Amino acid sequence: MKTYSHAVVVHWGDTDPAKIVFYPNYFVWFDESTRMYFDSVGLNWDTLMDKYGVVGFPIVDAHAKFLLPSMFRDEILVESSIEKWNEKTFVVKHVIYNKGQKSVEGEETRVWALRHPDDPTRLRSGIIPAEIIQAFE
């Protein structure tokens, strides 16, 4: 499977009073990285919505393990890969490196979400098309 990575500079607003990254920001970076990962294989949100009717990838499980702190002005590297494809869900693994050291490990389980046919205000899970999975191989 392909891996996507990008750099993030830790800004003042990303930190707590001790200048350490406030933990929810890691989940923001995980979410951004998942979107950019899809973009990197030619599957941006517009394409996914127009061609497949997908309205998003809601998270049904997310967790992280914090190994080393990141601080104000650090430049961290976020690496993301899809660890597992299921029929209607997929698991994205995220690893954050700071100065070459693994500092955070995270994982999200996301659902391939479509509008419910009987009520467009509701969502339903859909089967992930094979060509989506193939785009990441």
Q: Could you read off the pLDDT of 79-132 as tens digits, one per residue? A: 999 999 999 999 999 999 999 999 999 999 999 999 998 998 899 999 999 999
Q: What is the pLDDT of residue 103?
A: 98
- Full-model pTM: 0.93
Q: What is the pLDDT of residue 6?
A: 97
Average pLDDT over residues 13-29: 96
Q: Is the pLDDT of residue 24 over 90?
A: yes
Average pLDDT over residues 36-61: 94
* Active-site residue, selected from the candidate residues 16, 39, 50, 61: 16
Between strands 123-125 and 101-111, the pairing is unpaired
Tell me whether residue 46 is one of the annotated catalytic residues.
Answer: no
Q: How many Å apart are CA 70 and CA 81, to the nearest integer?
A: 21
| CATH numeric code, 3-135 | 3.10.129.10
Residues 6+ apart with CB under 8 A from 106: 26, 27, 30, 62, 63, 64, 65, 93, 94, 95, 96
Domain boundaries in the chain? 3-135
Average pLDDT over residues 46-61: 94
